[in-house]
Structure 1
Amino acid sequence: MNSHHLLPVHTGTVIEDDKLTLGQLCHACGVHADWVISLVEESIIEPQEGDEMHLWRFSGASLVRVRSALRLQRDLGVNLAGIALALDLIEELEQLRTRLKIMGHD
């Protein structure tokens, strides 16, 4: 086979399948554990596993939500209740856009 026809292989990690500990989530987002715990208490994110804090495991979706929450708080000064509302509305909007796209209404 001619090397001119080879395509590069890209590797990466699918974050939806990864489970992150509280420490890993904090490190990945550059935040303190207390802040992430506040997000859990406000139901902005939910541990996917573990009843006790030291056993908590978070999904890749939680990583995305924590980073979004951080931007809302840092850039716009939104409080935790506002962050919860904003992220839920953004998620609902994305779901509606997906449904419209499936129905053929771009």
Structure 2
Amino acid sequence: MSKSEIVIIDSQHEHILFTLEEVCERCNVHTEMIIEMVEYGIVDPVEKSLLDIWYFNSQALMRLQRAQRLMDGLKLNLSGVAFSLELLDEIDGLQKHIVVLRNQLP
């Protein structure tokens, strides 16, 4: 399978949702891989219809892109990707907190 880039939707259009099949097409991965990523907590569907159809937003697509880079670049398995993303999320949160604290300084 060749490497692919995920097209990220502008944050103005965050209300746009993608089905599982659309996510698989955009990410060039099989349905089973996305299902496994959901099971590992790497990405979460934002909505699940009564017909058990999953929907994902643009943030989920960005997270999948990040997960793919970790798997391709560092050869991590899904457990390693989940742990790495958790740590990266923590770093992002701390950096945002630092900005807020710096803005409170005179």
- With normalisation by structure 1, the TM-score equals 0.78
When the two chains are superposed, the root-mean-square deviation of aligned CA atoms in Å is 2.0
Gaps of 5+ in 2: 1-8
From the superposition, tell whether residues 65 and 80 of structure 1 become closer, same or farther in structure 2 (CA, over 3 Å): same
The alpha-carbon deviation at position 87 of structure 1 amounts to 0.5
Is structure 2 residue 59 aligned with structure 1 residue 95?
no
Deviations 1:48-71 (A, max 9, x none): 111678510012111111111111
% identical aligned pairs: 31
Larger radius of gyration: 1
The answer for the alignment partner of 1:72 in structure 2 is: 70
3-state secondary structure, aligned to 1:57: strand
3-state secondary structure, aligned to 2:48: coil
Alignment length, in residue pairs? 94
The alpha-carbon deviation at position 30 of structure 1 amounts to 1.6
- With normalisation by structure 2, the TM-score equals 0.78
In the TM superposition, structure 1's runs of 4+ consecutive aligned residues that sit over 2 Å from their partners are: 12-17, 51-54
Cα contact 1:42–1:84 (8 A) shared by 2: yes
